[in-house]
Amino acid sequence: MHEYGIAKDVISHVLVEADRYKASEVKQIKLDVGPLAMVNKDQLMFCLKAVSKDTIAEGMSVELGSLPVEIICPEKHVFQIDKPIDDVFRFLTSLRCPICGDKASIKSGREIILKEITAI
């Protein structure tokens, strides 16, 4: 379960930023998660709660958003994939630009971005 490691990293960053601004309590964080990050959002929420226990982030609310998957080809065409990606491995091995037909690579969709921290 890599969600635990992700949660540890997120909480670590949150606490560093909270300390930097002399916050005494973290009220909320907003995370954007790309579908290719292969994160189970329920497990991530559980792990964030567990890792934040006994810190100033304990009890914070967490808002999880989504990021789009974008592909790019050698001709620099960028295309956003709007449909759910159920079969990730087949998807990754058959990436083609819908504009020119060339092989494409992933431009975005693997990220986990800590977008916002609300603290007092």
- Domain residue extents for the chain: 3-67+110-119, 69-107
The residue with tokens 């050698």 is: 74
Per-residue pLDDT tens over the stretch 101-119: 999 999 999 999 999 999 9
Fold exhibited by the domain 3-67+110-119: hypothetical protein PF0899 fold (3.30.2320)
Return the ∠ at Cα 60 (arms to 54 and 62), rounded to 5°: 130
Mean pLDDT of 40-54: 97
- Kindly provide the residue ranges of all beta strands, DSSP E only, lying in the chain, ordered along the sequence: 26-33, 61-66, 69-72, 78-81, 105-108, 112-119
Strand partners, 106: 71
Considering the entire predicted model, what is its pTM? 0.86
Separation of alpha carbons 110 and 120, rounded Å: 31
Residue 85 has pLDDT above 90, yes or no: no
